[in-house]
Chain A
């Protein structure tokens, strides 16, 4: 450890529920923490969820508490639109490079919204996975923390960009911002970079990306949100008609050695929850869940029991073999074998939700000397870590409670690295 001095700062990569938790748990125990988050806001994937299972409660409720914890804790600093770009050194004495993308909006932004009023260009809304459009001068979402606008690069260097900048009376828009790289010291690093839904277009026979009405489960969260792109109506992307007959195809990629050999842990409960969203939209709506095993662990079984009791939700044990589209209607034909009856299933649906699994965000090559990965790219915390620890879904596919639990554990592992003994 160089001259024997241990840098006391904990660097947390990722400001989703796992990173936030790791950062807060460490900071509340008295440690200095820096969070690096690639989005323009903190909160990660859970900000896009409509409800959590099994309580069917809004993620923003817990996030607000976490943001409040950040507000009241001077030991936490964070960078948004930032990524870890390089690491050197050793446990207790890391030098890290943090690359910050230009937001084109500085800390003078009051969130008044005047820039958006004069902005005409619209871009696909990244928060809603492009299911709707948003102005190129935008607040990422109404709950964004920090509450600060973003200017999309598409209007930078244009006349419109200038007009947008001039509309700001606080001098908050700086179109000359450039990408910058900061070099900081850290004693230990928590890698909480999260996950992405498995790229469902790789499962060619399901038609994701080809048939507009085949969506993945995280898009379904935005459709269900009353403040989402469809105002909470489950509308088919093809014709914006309300979806009444919806299929949920479980293990879309997961438990499949051609795709993700592991089980993604959360997709069963996610689909049960989403079937419940659908039930609330219309008394005629009906859901069919095609599954291999329903994996509702521990007390989550109660949620499964509750959903099973709804006679508008059918469960069919089947690994779906093929999805095709009726070109005229954009309805979908879902085919497979019902392994309980031995019969062929061939059913028509308005919308198909692929319960796509969790793929961990990739750990960069240059971080690998400090942390090991399993064959699937998940981070291993096993005592051979060299000052870098995984937290949350980078370690294994997990639900929110498990991710939080794991991140709390990661915080202690990090503290052990820097503690003066």
Chain B
């Protein structure tokens, strides 16, 4: 679009006292031939906003407001999506944090203004993406158990069409095996209700059910997912907008627990086998069909055990309480022992624990040492923590192992790949174990035709759960959400609730995608990356590094971007060595031009310059807060917020250094196991890429100290001045960049 830029410099909140505003106001015209420049005591007031609106009425379409942080007054300075609004921070990051009426403060403000003008000039209003294909607003639910059926019903109630695919002949999932449920309000056992629910699903006109079916293939992206479903030897095609995976769990394999007697004694059963027996009619001793007068439940059979499942399976305590209740109902004289580590019945479920105690079940806190048989009955030897002594419980008819939950997606064996030459840890066949989190190794369910693997990447232990506390439905594949026990071990009540939320997210993804908008965490963003393919060298970096697997490849390794899968983080833009990936309002040349807009003083002036590329989500607000607290830091640093550090293209570093900038600091989010990057790998990728800058520096005969990466959390603002000043000391020590003035 043809630009008419207006610059608005605010004097409020101490900016006018800190800076020579008249001088600053001369800059746009002198350097950028911008003749619309206004000064006001407070642009956020009605009078101030009206000034801007008048100019917009007279043709200004790019507004540069040099005032407070963009984190405030966002609503006041909203002039519609077709106008470019660039906020230059002169308040928190200049007037409130630097010496007033100081030459260096003035220079800082000038550079900030230059960068803002350059950015506004380089920005275009985003045009929402719309594929040529028809969009689908249907949901696919994979898995017809409690969670899957709940998701389907709830979405249908909100008016959405659903396709439900279940691998078994009958809907219902695990609850089909159950006699009863223990659920809110946790007072008594209740019917599972699963058959009624299955009937309701089957009868719902908005839900199309495929049983004895599986998903053979999924291609495309949100609103454009093309499915191949096979059922009874025929293949059906469908198109959906978003996907919920609710494929549940499998019990931990009790054959791995011979020390608890499983496989050695017929009367040692799992909680699943016990449940099936109860549902069939009578709880008996499998060995001889005899009466069960005494049962002993071993909790955490495999769970909370580093040798088996290190995590807690969450439901087994409540399940054993339920099963002890079955036995009590079958035979009021029967006795159940429950041997546990910690009784974990959270929230209102505590009521059921109290009931089980009242019922006369015997609870022993301790551990098992041996299970054996004596005279046709079993015994369990162990340690009773409360008595502080060894115990042996004899005359047991049935031992029940409370085995835990394994996500259905988790492969039986640890995946192995051919080890690279000389890799440590390779086995005799040259194979090496790999982390199962890539989506390549999970049991097949979705069969995504994605460059980065056919299934959802998982966290530790194989759960494709969210890594984020605040955003528990986030997965690493856009428009695909998980619900129920595939996500993490949870009781049936929680699985139902979880499925409702997953349905909400799946619906929301459809609604946003239909409008050409991104989903979380840049929900509503209408910009998306465009690829200038003529210059692509098929290096595959973008397809490999996209944290969301949004980019496919053709057979010649050309990237095939799928914009509806894109989260708009810009990691591809940062990855691309040819710099062919750009957003309408965010691009490599744009930031490059901002860096070039910084005035670099001559060496003899003794005023170094540092560029700080900072995460706009965490480091930028932290800097604002330091300003609000009137903390202070070196005025020689120029801050450029980026969508994610993963979008930092190394050319910016080369640009900076070749222009005489003395140092570059990247401020980004924590990475590693407990990463905080909202785009999963952005900050980690930035760090990895930066480690490769050393070569560039050597080539330019520059010191590697000039470039630094620092992790900073949003709450660490009190540390920021120290971090920045430390870096400035390093820069002073290495001395001026010899490329100054070139």
Contacts and interface: CB of A to CB of B under 8 A. Distances in A.
A415 B158 contact: yes
Interface stretch (A125-133, A201-209, A396-404): A396-404
A30 B617 contact: no
B235 interface: no
Contact of B511 (A28, A225, A255, A413): A28
B42 A401 contact: no
Interface string A191-235: 000000000000000000000000000000000011100000000
A61 interface: yes
Interface in B458-501: 459-461, 463, 465-466, 468-473, 488-490, 494, 497-498, 500-501
Interface stretch (B21-29, B55-63, B344-352): B344-352
B348 A374 contact: yes
A301 B68 CA distance: 45
B314 interface: yes
A399 B498 CA distance: 14
Contacts of B313: 298
Contacts of A71: 71, 74-75
A405 interface: yes
Interface size class of B (residues with CB under 8 A): 35 or more
A65 B490 CA distance: 27
Nearest to A145: B71
B267 interface: no
Interface string A40-64: 0000000000101001111111111
Nearest to A291: B342
Nearest to B185: A374
Given A56-B674, A61-B715, A299-B461, A317 B385 contact: yes
B714 A298 contact: no
A329 interface: no
Contacts of B715: 50, 58, 60-61, 225-227
Contacts of A299: 311-312, 459-461, 463, 465, 488
Which among A262, A264, A305 has the highest number of chain B CB atoms within 10 Å? A262
A65 B470 contact: yes
Contact of B154 (A61, A68, A412): A412
B348 A411 contact: no
Given A61-B618, A396-B347, A401-B472, A28 B508 contact: yes
Contacts of B344: 293, 295, 297
A60 B669 CA distance: 13
A265 B346 contact: yes
A405 B473 contact: yes
B348 A262 contact: yes
Contact of A110 (B13, B185, B310, B489): B13
Interface of A: 17, 24-25, 28-30, 50, 52, 55-69, 71-74, 108, 110-112, 139, 142-143, 146-147, 169-170, 225-227, 255, 261-265, 293-302, 305, 317, 339-342, 374-376, 378, 380, 382, 396-402, 404-409, 411-413, 415-416, 419-421
Top 4 A-B pairs ranked by shortest CB distance?
A: A62-B470, A58-B715, A408-B501, A409-B500
24 contacts: A25-B505, A29-B504, A29-B507, A57-B670, A61-B470, A62-B469, A64-B618, A65-B678, A69-B524, A71-B71, A71-B74, A73-B524, A112-B12, A146-B72, A169-B41, A261-B354, A263-B350, A299-B460, A339-B386, A341-B388, A396-B348, A405-B473, A406-B497, A408-B501
Given A28-B519, A29-B512, A415-B507, 14 more contacts: A28-B523, A61-B714, A64-B714, A108-B45, A111-B72, A111-B628, A142-B628, A143-B625, A263-B345, A298-B489, A305-B310, A404-B472, A405-B497, A416-B158
